[in-house]
Amino acid sequence: MSVLSYCGSKFTIRIVEKEGLKVEKDALEAIRDSIDFALNHLGIDGHLFVTVVGTEAFRMSDNPEDKALGIYHSSIQHIAICGAIENLEPFDGSRENWLEELKITAVHEVIHYWQELQGNLTESEESEVKCIQITAQICDAMEEGRG
| Residue 86 backbone phi and psi in degrees, to 5 | -125, -35
Alpha-carbon distance of 1 to 71, in angstroms, equals 21
- Picking from 42, 44, 41, 45, the residue whose alpha carbon sits closest to that of residue 146 is 41
2-144 fold: Neutral Protease; domain 2 (1.10.390)
Tell me the pLDDT of the chain (147 aa) as tens digits.
556 677 788 999 999 887 778 898 999 999 999 999 999 999 998 899 999 988 888 878 788 777 888 889 888 889 999 998 888 888 888 899 999 999 999 999 999 999 999 998 888 999 999 999 999 999 999 999 865
* Predicted local distance difference test score (pLDDT) of residue 61: 77
Q: Whose CA is closest to 136, among 65, 79, 144?
A: 144
Which pLDDT score is estimated for 33? 95
Q: How much is the pLDDT for 78?
A: 94
What's the pLDDT score for residue 21?
83
pLDDT of the residue at 2: 57
CA distance 86 to 21: 8
Query: Residue 142's pLDDT is what?
Result: 94
